[in-house]
Amino acid sequence: MHAHGTAVPAPPPPAPARVRGAAARWWPLLPVLATVLLLAAPVHGAGAGGPARVTAADAASGAVVLCALVGVLRRRTRPLAPVAVFVFGAPAVACAIATVTSADPALSLTGFVRYLQVFVLVPLAVVLLIRDAWGFRVVTGCLAVLALVQGVVGVHQYVTGTGASYMGEDVRAVGTFGPTDVMGMATVVAYGLLAAAALALRTPRHAPRWLRPAALVAAVGLVVPLALSFSRGAWIATVIAGATMLLLAGRRPALRTLAVLVPASVVLVVGFGVGSEMISQRLTSITQVTGTPDRSVNDRYTMWAAATSMWREQPAAGVGLKGFPAHRDAHASIGLSSGSDTAGAGRSFEKQPLLSPHNMYLLVLSEQGLIGVTAFVGSWAAVLVGGVRRLLPGGRRTVAAADCGLVAVGLALWQTVDFLYADIGGPSTVLTGIVFGLAAWWALAGPRHAAPPAPACPSARLPGAPVEAKARAAT
């Protein structure tokens, strides 16, 4: 201090220390970011409901789990609160029971590995590797970047007529996922839209001035590819998740964001006639599915009925993981078609077999019975309710991280609503694990506390209770 008592600014840390600090901050996130960004590359192979295929993103998700495991072993402390262990342990136990009791345990074992990856291992690894709100924002920022890339590809497909086949025209936006995974681009774009909307609603303190308008522009722009995906389930889930985020954000931020988002979206989609006729027909069909539904809706209803019939036959543990295709014909009516027609987006015409009920809840019910559906629905509900509670006034998160809470709740709600119309399958499935990990980091991690000393291994600094120093929370 000077003679007059004024504080002398601390000298900046030396360059090697800054490099080590940056490496310690970024290194645990790299496999998570790689898992997200690798989905921007074209994927050739099975789509949703098709045979399992290991993609580059799946391999990267294995690195995510391995990195988290190394950190746990080097830290040698309990990394998770008991409630987190229970929330993710229950689905793992349910999957194990369904595998052991299956008529074909060898076949069910592949499903067991996939369920563990998506709903247990990857989410837990994300919880362990994200240390603070800054890391959370980096991952959700990558989700937004991926959404923008896929959205640009999707809009180009619509404009040039090189998308997936829809109503006799190759105009359906599917991004790089191809016509066999038509929900892939819609899912990614919805994730990015919600992430951008959260930043616009609750911009972090001391964020750059350009961040909020950039987030608004990104959210508005992503409305277009989402509309051109012609995915009714994604539309419904996005509207519900977005409306919930607006309610949780407060009246003033919600009104400011709506004043920009709604008019701009209307101008883009309706004013410029971006797929307006097809979108209008698709919207109308949402309220007409109980009348004279088209073949795709009729097939979906038939598979839903088949799933419930399987459950009645095996109510406790279901027919076993991966057992739906083998038992489908014995429980489905003759009205079920042989498959869905897929074409366009660089692929020739082919029949895509109907190997799942396109409803995650019914898929779990049919293959894992009451044990499985109780475990999974309970796990998802715990994450969602915990996230909302911590975002409400009186929760244990500061306003500085409210954008993280909005993203977490929005993504978790979107996924649970979308599961009414879709299930896991296809290259984009690995993102489901990332999303549940983000939501669980917010909902299930312990109370905030002072930052501990930096560990020897960067990945060993585990957020069983996320650390958020004041300066970092303000970024």
Torsion sign (Cα): 193, 357, 385, 255: positive
**CA–CA separation, 297 and 110 (whole Å):** 29
Give dist(CA 296, CA 339) in Å, integer.
9
The rounded mean pLDDT for the chain is 81
With a CB cutoff of 8 Å and minimum separation 6, the contacts of 85 are: none
Kindly report, residue by residue over 363-421, the tens digit of the pLDDT.
999 999 999 999 999 999 999 999 999 888 765 555 568 899 999 999 999 999 999 98
Give the position of tokens 């949703």. 48
Structural contact between residues 444 and 385, judged by C-beta atoms closer than 8 angstroms: no
Is 425 or 395 the better-scoring residue by pLDDT?
425
| pLDDT at residue 459 greater than cutoff 50 | no
Output phi, psi for 2, to 5 deg: -75, 175
Give me the pLDDT at residue 79, please.
Answer: 77
How confident is the model over 249-302, as pLDDT tens digits?
877 777 777 777 777 766 666 554 555 556 666 655 555 544 545 667 778 888
The residues pairing with 344 across neighbouring beta strands, listed in sequence order, are 164, 347
Cα 326 to chain centroid distance, Å, stands at 29
| Placement of tokens 């090697």 in the chain | 16
pLDDT at 457 over 70: no
Query: What is the β-pairing status of strands 169-172 and 347-352?
Result: unpaired
* Greater pLDDT, 1 or 126: 126
Closest CA to 64 of 435, 467, 434: 434
Higher-pLDDT residue of 464, 34: 34
Residue 468 pLDDT:
41
End-to-end CA distance of the chain: 28
Band of residue 349 on the pLDDT scale cut at 50, 70, 90: low
pTM above 0.75, yes or no: yes
* β-sheet bridge partners, residue 347: 344
